[in-house]
Amino acid sequence: MKNYQICSCCVMDTSDPDIQFDSTGICSHCKEYEKLKKNRLIKLQTNFDDLVVKIKKRGKSHPYDCAAGISGGTDSSYMLHQLKNSGLRVLAVHYDSGWNTEEAVHNVKALTEKMGIDLYRFSVDWEEFKALQIAYLKAGVIDLDVPTDHALHGGLYKAAADNNVPFILTGHNMETECVMPQSWVTDKLDSSNLMDIYKQYGSGLKLKTFPLQTLFTKFSNYNIRKIEMIFVLNFVKYNKKEAGEMLKKLYGWEPVRVKHGESIWTRFFQCHILPNRFGVDKRRAHFSNLILSNVMSRDEALGELTLPIYKDNFEQDKQMILNRYEITESDFEKYMTQEIKQHSDFKTEKGLKNAYAKIRNILPNGMLNISTRH
């Protein structure tokens, strides 16, 4: 076990087992961020205005120029505001996982109504989704948000395909989501991993409405339908604090209290399960991103980290989750203390994906894409 060390620039520490420090105490995440920032400056030559022109050009012959994933959090809400102002014909897409917080529901409604944007909602059958979430809990792996993120991705592509829309725009951005230790997450779109976990720990209920992203589905979306996913906030100047204030003033938007706190399950997972079972406090990564993008000072972050991670809803959230999962407190405690498993203990798409990447490398650029990063 390494000795405890915290970065002298951000607040990442040795709770990331792969972190490295240079002689001045600066961590590998900060170095990576600097590298990315340099690349991003080059990328900004294709700025937002150019991006809008590109989207309008291809969108012209379609019912909407683009579909935009909206969760109700700051990033996607700000994105929607930017898209609306640029004159794009937007179809807002909202995934209701069954765990949406009141703030998220309110924000999605307020934003789309006040902007006059069409809204496409989608959800997965609750019994299916529940069975999948419980399977992950029972399996003992770290990334319990895979079912949510996988469904979100699949739902966005389904919305685009159903409505014949050529672009999917999302509020993900490297500037606020660059720092994330690899051991804290897994590939959210690995359908083999998901299905193997479900096969071993699921209830046996057939997944009929869950939008499973198999390699074939991904291939078809990226290469046949040629639906392009773009992380819009990589193309605009974005200050999270200022964005939140502007959204409040213009649309009566309400801030969500923790990052990804649009979902009660995600809040419980990030604020209770991750720190107590896996020793992971995701605030470290989120604050480090904010420090690196000059939105928060390191002292402010250190101060925040001394506060309890769960604000005031812990008991209420826990009871709601146990009730809705129909599991007892002692079942839950058993899952919280059982042996930890790695995602790599289950089947994975990695081998196939790597073989695929090799083939792709000898083909013209962009062909046979199975990754969506732009």
Binding site for Zn ion (CB under 5 A): 7, 9-10, 12, 27, 29-30
> How far, in Å, are 2, 45, 159 from residue 279 at the CA level?
15, 41, 37
Q: Quick one: 33 or 231, whose CB is closer to Zn ion?
A: 33
CB of 180 to Zn ion, least distance (A): 13
Q: Which residue has the tokens 């090799």?
A: 358
**What are the tokens at 16?**
């990331």
CB of 3 to Zn ion, least distance (A): 17
CB of 172 to Zn ion, least distance (A): 21
Q: Which residue has the tokens 């607040």?
A: 11
CB of 269 to Zn ion, least distance (A): 24
Q: Are 292 and 3 in contact (CB under 8 A)?
A: no
Q: Quick one: 22 or 127, whose CB is closer to Zn ion?
A: 22
CA–CA gap between residue 31 and residue 36 (Å, rounded) = 9
Paired sense of beta strands 66-69 and 167-170, if any:
parallel
The Cβ of residue 322 has, within 10 Å, a number of other Cβ atoms equal to 14
Q: Are 167 and 59 in contact (CB under 8 A)?
A: yes
CB of 26 to Zn ion, least distance (A): 6
Buried b / exposed e over 82-112, threshold 16 CB at 10 Å, is bbbebebbbbbbbbebbbbbebbeebbebbb
Q: Quick one: 16 or 262, whose CB is closer to Zn ion?
A: 16
Residue 119 main-chain phi, psi, to 5 deg: -120, 130
Helices (H), the chain: 28-43, 48-59, 74-85, 102-115, 126-139, 146-162, 174-177, 191-201, 215-219, 240-251, 264-268, 274-278, 283-292, 298-305, 314-325, 329-337, 350-361
CB of 27 to Zn ion, least distance (A): 3
Q: Quick one: 34 or 113, whose CB is closer to Zn ion?
A: 34
Q: Quick one: 29 or 94, whose CB is closer to Zn ion?
A: 29
CA 86 to chain centre: 25
Q: Quick one: 33 or 99, whose CB is closer to Zn ion?
A: 33
Which residue is at the shortest CB distance from Zn ion? 7
Name the CA radius of gyration of the chain, rounded. 21
**What are the tokens at 333?**
């405690």
CB of 291 to Zn ion, least distance (A): 8
CB of 190 to Zn ion, least distance (A): 28
Q: Are 235 and 172 in contact (CB under 8 A)?
A: no
CA–CA gap between residue 65 and residue 58 (Å, rounded) = 7
Q: Quick one: 25 or 303, whose CB is closer to Zn ion?
A: 25
Q: Quick one: 21 or 238, whose CB is closer to Zn ion?
A: 21
Task: Name the nearest CA neighbour of 52 among 167, 181, 136, 140.
Answer: 167
CB of 7 to Zn ion, least distance (A): 3
Q: Quick one: 7 or 274, whose CB is closer to Zn ion?
A: 7
